[in-house]
Homo-oligomer: A and B are copies of this chain.
Amino acid sequence: MSTFESFVSAYGPLSKIDAFGYLSSLANDPAAPRKQGKVVLVTADTPLKASRGEGKTTATVALTDALRARGIDATAVLRQPSMGITAAGSKGGASGGGKASLKNPEIADWGLFGEMMRIATAQNLIVSLAEKALEEGKLTEILLPRVSEVPSKSLRSIAVAGGKVAEKCVLSPTSEMMQIVTLSRSVTELKNRINALIVGTLDGKPVTASEVADADRIVTVLGDAVQPALLETQNGSPIYMHCGPFANVSIGIPSLISVEMACARHDIVFVEAGYGTDMGAQKWLDIAAREYGAQWPVAAVVVTRASTWRDDPALQWRYPFHIQRLENAGVPSFPLLNLWEGEDDLLPSLREHATEQGFRDPIAGNLFRDGSDALVPQLDDFIAAVTTPSAADLAAMVPQSTAGQTVVSKLKDIIAVSYGVPAERVLEKETFEPSLAAATKLAADAGIDIDKLVVCPVKSPATMTDNDALPASERTVTLKKAEVHAGAGLLHVNLTTSLTTAMPKIV
């Protein structure tokens, strides 16, 4: 029997874990000791601006420390921040803040051990091999985008083959290769997904990566990027980190293996699911848990700042909507009020407001200043909620897969449940139907029934509908464009105010 430690390697002051090896050793030895950890989603209100987080990572760190201080074996699985975005100044890092921070944040925020750059390189190699296939007449069009770790204006469009073929370029965390690494539970699955990537077309028919590249070579380029990293909070709590952020333009969840590994090692596993509930939680529930076998969460913590929650009257409906939406799904949902300097005085009125809204008692504190100390005494209800259900109870809550429903029917369900807009107010831009028809044909030609693909909404992180400021009865959601990600098994659909810029701004 191999111990967990035999799958851990020191990497400088941190470690990396051969999660494929560890999970396979557990699968092969049913008697091997393991825990049945439960997932708690840490999600948030829809942010007023995409670049301004509510404090999910800070809250996750403080909650992990606080539960451990209460004698519960808790951990968290974080998504790796995008170094390119942080370096370009578009967004801060994601390693918590103040007393609720990670040790070695400079490593976590600045590229960890190069995982994202390896993922970018792996996809870029396939694109280069596709270019060669294009030259050789084996391909007439490249669909798979090139990947860049840093945002760049010039890479928004690239001319290949004398301008006859357009290519686009995306950031590492938004690449299909990142999705493939996030979703794959074994090297075999990784290779199968790589082989299934649609790289382009030959006279309109899809050409997959299996026809232009050797999956073994791509896996070799990925190298240790498939291994989650093990970090610690400043208080010494274990924290896992693996795979990318950006639920707005991708799935934005940590890798399934990192969460499974954490659940085999700890009793409570916080999983970051942002930006807001409409995005990160929607994707964990509808994509990871419902379609890819990840755990149904035992609870959710919905982080908000005092200001986000109350400042814009026209958007005040969103936070209670999110809480209710999660409770409707059977996920006990705890408001977490992340107070900033000078906001302590607001607490009584915030608590009153929460009571009026019918929320569970909020967990509140200045987490930057006080860290977990602020939370330890407030967790009785939360602990009761997360320790009661059994693994079987949770497994029973996972809704049936949507595989086989039509794309539009799946979208209407998501939009009704997660954004609060009924089917009759789901609109279609004139480009949507042709785009879906083309995606359907492309998938069919690749041997894939499009109704078997999992729908992945792509939209602005700051809005849920075409105009969130309208009254509920006037809100609409417009479907705009469909795009097949055959390797990941996803159908991306752009909605509402899509963040369609492949490359965010440099500031």
Contact with B along A119-153 (1 / 0, CB 8 A): 01100110111011001000000000010111111
A128 B152 Cβ-Cβ under 8 A? yes
B146 A121 Cβ-Cβ under 8 A? no
Give the chain B neighbours of A154 by CB distance below 8 A. 127, 131, 146, 158-161, 167
Chain B residue with Cβ nearest A149? B121
- Distance in Å from the Cβ of A200 to the closest Cβ of chain B? 12
Contact with B along A1-40 (1 / 0, CB 8 A): 0000000011111001000000000000000000000000
A121 B223 Cβ-Cβ under 8 A? no
Q: How far is the CA of A9 from the CA of B131 in the complex (A)?
A: 40
Q: Known interface pairs A10-B10, A125-B87. Does A153 touch B159 (Cβ–Cβ under 8 Å)?
A: no
Whether A92 sits at the interface, judged by CB under 8 Å, is no
Of A110-118, A190-198, A335-343, the stretch lying at the interface with chain B is A110-118
- Distance in Å from the Cβ of A248 to the closest Cβ of chain B? 21
Whether A427 sits at the interface, judged by CB under 8 Å, is no
A12 B224 Cβ-Cβ under 8 A? yes
Name the one of B9, B88, B217 contacting A128, with C-beta atoms under 8 angstroms.
B88
B88 A125 Cβ-Cβ under 8 A? yes
B124 A153 Cβ-Cβ under 8 A? no
Whether A84 sits at the interface, judged by CB under 8 Å, is yes
Chain B residue with Cβ nearest A218? B87
Q: How far is the CA of A155 from the CA of B160 in the complex (A)?
A: 8
- Distance in Å from the Cβ of A107 to the closest Cβ of chain B? 8
Q: Known interface pairs A88-B125, A121-B149, A127-B152. Does A110 touch B220 (Cβ–Cβ under 8 Å)?
A: yes
B111 A125 Cβ-Cβ under 8 A? no
Chain A: interface size category? 35 or more
Give the chain B neighbours of A121 by CB distance below 8 A. 83-84, 87, 111, 117, 149-150
B12 A217 Cβ-Cβ under 8 A? no
Whether A189 sits at the interface, judged by CB under 8 Å, is no
Whether A386 sits at the interface, judged by CB under 8 Å, is no
Name the one of B110, B146, B221 contacting A87, with C-beta atoms under 8 angstroms.
B221
Give the chain B neighbours of A224 by CB distance below 8 A. 12
Copy count, this protein chain:
2
Q: Known interface pairs A117-B121, A124-B148, A154-B158. Does A220 touch B106 (Cβ–Cβ under 8 Å)?
A: yes
A113 B111 Cβ-Cβ under 8 A? no
- Distance in Å from the Cβ of A466 to the closest Cβ of chain B? 30
Give the chain B neighbours of A120 by CB distance below 8 A. 117
B11 A506 Cβ-Cβ under 8 A? no
Q: How far is the CA of A114 from the CA of B225 in the complex (A)?
A: 10
Q: How far is the CA of A114 from the CA of B10 in the complex (A)?
A: 16
Give the chain B neighbours of A150 by CB distance below 8 A. 121, 124-125, 128
Q: Known interface pairs A223-B110, A224-B12. Does A152 touch B135 (Cβ–Cβ under 8 Å)?
A: no
B160 A158 Cβ-Cβ under 8 A? no
A135 B153 Cβ-Cβ under 8 A? yes
Give the chain B neighbours of A506 by CB distance below 8 A. 128-129, 131-132
A128 B151 Cβ-Cβ under 8 A? yes
- Distance in Å from the Cβ of A171 to the closest Cβ of chain B? 11
Name the one of B10, B83, B84, B124 contacting A11, with C-beta atoms under 8 angstroms.
B10
Chain B residue with Cβ nearest A134? B153
- Distance in Å from the Cβ of A63 to the closest Cβ of chain B? 28
Chain B residue with Cβ nearest A225? B114
- Distance in Å from the Cβ of A12 to the closest Cβ of chain B? 4
- Distance in Å from the Cβ of A217 to the closest Cβ of chain B? 6
- Distance in Å from the Cβ of A17 to the closest Cβ of chain B? 11
Q: How far is the CA of A314 from the CA of B394 in the complex (A)?
A: 78
Chain B residue with Cβ nearest A135? B153
Q: Known interface pairs A221-B83, A221-B111. Does A149 touch B167 (Cβ–Cβ under 8 Å)?
A: no
Give the chain B neighbours of A131 by CB distance below 8 A. 152-154, 506
Give the chain B neighbours of A135 by CB distance below 8 A. 153
Name the one of B9, B13, B129 contacting A13, with C-beta atoms under 8 angstroms.
B9
- Distance in Å from the Cβ of A156 to the closest Cβ of chain B? 10
Question: Given A9-B11, A106-B220, A154-B167, list of 19 further CB < 8 A pairs?
Answer: A11-B11, A12-B224, A83-B121, A87-B221, A110-B223, A111-B121, A114-B114, A117-B118, A117-B120, A121-B150, A124-B152, A127-B152, A127-B154, A128-B151, A131-B153, A131-B506, A146-B152, A153-B160, A154-B161
13 pairs of residues in contact across A and B, judged by CB atoms under 8 Å: A84-B121, A87-B220, A106-B223, A111-B221, A121-B149, A125-B150, A127-B152, A127-B154, A132-B506, A135-B153, A146-B154, A153-B161, A154-B158
